[in-house]
Amino acid sequence: GAVVSQHPSWVICKSGTSVKIECRSLDFQATTMFWYRQFPKQSLMLMATSNEGSKATYEQGVEKDKFLINHASLTLSTLTVTSAHPEDSSFYICSAPTPSGRAGYEQYFGPGTRLTVT
């Protein structure tokens, strides 16, 4: 099946700094990717839809100036958490829908990035 990678797998940063998380589709092109956030013992909350070549679509309540999304190419989307604070500590997961032309309907999830802000 299709593979999605994320980098880094975990990161610790100091409050006030910015952190960039990369999401790559390894063997297919993804014009759309999704970014989720998951707090401990909670479910995945959709943050935004990343669109190649255009602006990201943010879900209600997600600050677009704080969570910058750039879909630089058909295989790469990045999420930058700007001026991170301890409350931003979470598990961030990206996903990409089934590539066009392939049978299926799945979302392929990256392995996730655990962010800890001290």
User: Which parts of this chain interact with another protein (CB under 8 A)?
Assistant: 32, 34, 36, 41-46, 49, 57, 91, 93, 95, 97, 105-107, 109-112, 114
Q: Which is nearer to another protein, 11 or 91 (CB)?
A: 91
What is the C-alpha to C-alpha distance for residues 109 and 43, in angstroms, rounded to an integer?
14
Q: Which is nearer to another protein, 42 or 73 (CB)?
A: 42
What are the phi and psi torsion angles at 86 (to 5°)? -50, -30
For residue 83, the minimal CB distance to another protein (Å) is: 26
Q: Which is nearer to another protein, 20 or 97 (CB)?
A: 97
10 Å Cβ neighbour count for 7? 14
What is the C-alpha to C-alpha distance for residues 118 and 50, in angstroms, rounded to an integer?
28
CA 116 to chain centre: 16
What are the phi and psi torsion angles at 87 (to 5°)? -70, -10
For residue 78, the minimal CB distance to another protein (Å) is: 18
For residue 25, the minimal CB distance to another protein (Å) is: 14
Q: Which is nearer to another protein, 49 or 70 (CB)?
A: 49
